[in-house]
């Protein structure tokens, strides 16, 4: 979700669901240590609970960035060990870290030692052609011993060479049973499932075996689905905001952000899927983006890609 779940997207998603935990896009340790920290770390108070997702493989750098995240007010620090992008691999982090569980454990220990908020790990169930359940079981066991108690398992292998990130989300076989088995083998840990979930019935089915479900692309492409979650999964009986109410609030928010120097497009691009599936959705998107239908098409193509 790099370049998508920025602070404007998360503000929009929080209008849809009050209780779901939100995650930042992955931020590299280099970007935080050497770059513009406010640009990467600033967020809206309404976003809580919100987790900062880090990309890196140097324990000392991750400890520094985890402390920054805690200081800025994030509720969780998440280490990405699941991204298969070759660009990410060149930085020696993401899914390739699963081949080095001891290093991941050292990274987690370095962060746990300096923050009080939870340190969590997002990972795949395997890499390349290693289809053995023992691989992910041993990875989780090693990292758990370092102080990580929450694991978010994308239930596909990551193919590190030859597949694009999009293909890595579609071609490797989903193995939900591996995630289920992790919960059986590590009942004391919180095991959360990611990958291929796009309807509430499937969420309920997975929650019979696991502690949580993470939704990525579907939440972005079909955001009004999130409006049902507080009632369905958190027992909140309050009525969700309507689409019109959300659009109105996003327009007010966009005006405030433009006054601070943001572009309107950078804010409103995230809500292009708000009316997905409804009659007149295309006309609404055209109106919302100022009749720039080509730009809307580019946004949707990038998300769906």
Q: What is the pLDDT of residue 287?
A: 60
Structural domain for 20, as ranges: 7-231
Collapsing DSSP to helix, strand or coil, 123 comes out as strand
Q: Is the peptide bond before 139 cis (omega within 30 degrees of 0)?
A: no
Contacts of 158 (CB under 8 A, 6+ apart): 82, 83, 84, 95, 98, 124, 126, 127, 128, 168, 172
Query: How many whole angstroms separate alpha carbon 111 and alpha carbon 151?
Result: 15
Among 55-59, 73-77, 247-251, 288-292, name the one with the lowest average pLDDT: 288-292
Q: Is 97 a domain residue?
A: yes
Same-domain status, 189 and 293: no
Judge if 52 and 190 occupy the same domain. Answer: yes
Instruction: Compute the distance between CA of residue 272 and CA of residue 278 in angstroms, rounded to an integer.
Output: 12
CATH number at residue 250: 1.20.120.1460
Same domain, 247 and 148: no
Looking at residue 296, its pLDDT comes to: 44
Taking phi over 0 as left and psi of -120 to 50 as alpha, with beta for the rest, 101 belongs to alpha
40 and 17 part of one domain? yes
How far does CA 163 lie from the centroid of its chain?
21
Q: Which residues contact 35 (CB under 8 A, 6 or more apart)?
A: none
* Residues 47 and 88 occupy one common structural domain: yes
Domain boundary among 206, 231, 256: 231
CA distance 301 to 139: 35
198 and 285 both lie in a single domain: no
Q: Is residue 237 part of a domain?
A: no
CA–CA separation, 101 and 142 (whole Å): 6
Structure tokens at 78: 């998440």
Span 96-115, mean pLDDT? 97
Residue 236 domain-assigned?
A: no
pLDDT on residue 303: 43
> Rounded distance, CA 138 to CA 159, Å?
19
Do 105 and 12 share a structural domain? Answer: yes
Residue reference for tokens 């870290």 = 97
* Predicted pLDDT of residue 171: 87
Query: Which residues are designated catalytic?
Result: 83
In sequence order, the β-bridge partners of residue 50 are 22
Dist. CA 119–CA 209, nearest whole Å: 23
Number of domains into which the chain is organized: 2
Last residue of a domain, one of 231, 262, 285: 231
Based on the fold, state whether residues 152 and 131 are members of the same structural domain.
Answer: yes
Q: Could you say which of 208, 231, 254 is where a domain stops?
A: 231
- Residue-wise pLDDT tens digits, 181-219: 999 999 999 999 999 999 999 999 999 999 999 999 999
Beta carbons of 12 and 246 less than 8 angstroms apart:
yes
What's the whole-number mean pLDDT along residues 217-229?
Answer: 95
Domain assignment present for 195:
yes
* 219 and 250 housed in the same domain: no
Whether residue 142 sits in one domain with residue 107: yes
> Do 118 and 253 belong together in one domain?
no
Q: Is 268 part of any domain?
A: yes
Q: Which two tokens stand for residue 32?
A: 């935080």
Would you say residue 262 lies in a domain? yes
CA distances from 216 to 13, 39, 197, 238 (A): 12, 22, 9, 25
- 22: domain CATH number is 3.20.20.70
> To 10 degrees, the CA torsion angle through 263, 267, 268, 270?
140
- Contact between residue 79 and residue 111 where contact means Cβ atoms under 8 Å apart: yes
Kindly state the tokens that stand for 194: 């990611």
Question: Could you tell me if residue 143 is inside a domain?
Answer: yes
Which of these ranges, 131-135, 184-188, 259-263, 274-278, has the smallest mean pLDDT?
274-278
What letter would DSSP give residue 43?
A: -
* 204 within domain boundaries: yes
Could you read off the pLDDT of 41-69 as tens digits, one per residue? Answer: 999 999 999 999 999 999 999 999 999 99
Strand partners, 23: 51
Assess whether 226 and 262 both reside in one domain: no
Half-sphere exposure at residue 32, Cβ-oriented, CA atoms within 13 angstroms? 22
């Amino acid at each position: 979700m790099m370049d998508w779940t920025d602070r404007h997207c998360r503000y929009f998603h929080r209008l849809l669901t009050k209780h779901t935990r939100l995650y930042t896009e992955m931020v590299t340790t280099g970007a935080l240590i050497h770059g513009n920290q406010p640009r990467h770390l600033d967020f809206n108070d309404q976003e809580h609970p919100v987790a900062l997702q880090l990309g890196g493989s140097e324990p000392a750098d991750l400890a520094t960035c985890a402390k920054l995240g805690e200081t800025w007010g994030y509720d969780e620090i998440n280490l990405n060990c699941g991204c298969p992008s070759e660009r990410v691999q060149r930085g020696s982090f993401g899914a390739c870290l699963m081949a080095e569980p001891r290093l991941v454990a050292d990274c987690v220990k370095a962060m746990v030692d300096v923050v009080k908020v939870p340190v969590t790990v997002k990972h795949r169930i395997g890499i390349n052609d290693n289809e053995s359940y023992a691989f992910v079981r041993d990875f989780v066991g090693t990292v758990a011993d370092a102080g990580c108690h929450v694991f978010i398992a994308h239930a596909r292998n990551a193919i590190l060479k030859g597949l694009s990130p999009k293909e890595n989300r579609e071609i490797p076989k989903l193995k939900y049973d591996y995630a289920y088995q992790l919960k059986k083998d590590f009942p004391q840990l919180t095991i959360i499932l990611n990958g291929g979930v796009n309807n509430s019935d499937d969420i309920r089915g997975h929650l019979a075996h696991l502690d949580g479900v993470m939704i990525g692309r579907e939440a972005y492409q079909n955001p009004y689905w999130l409006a049902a979650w507080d009632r369905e999964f958190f027992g909140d009986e309050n009525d969700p905001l309507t689409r019109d109410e959300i659009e109105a609030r996003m327009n007010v928010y966009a005006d405030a952000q433009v006054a601070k120097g943001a572009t309107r497009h950078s804010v409103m691009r995230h809500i292009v899927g708000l009316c997905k599936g409804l009659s007149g959705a295309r006309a609404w998107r055209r109106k919302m983006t100022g009749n720039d239908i080509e730009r809307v098409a580019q946004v949707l193509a990038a998300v769906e890609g």
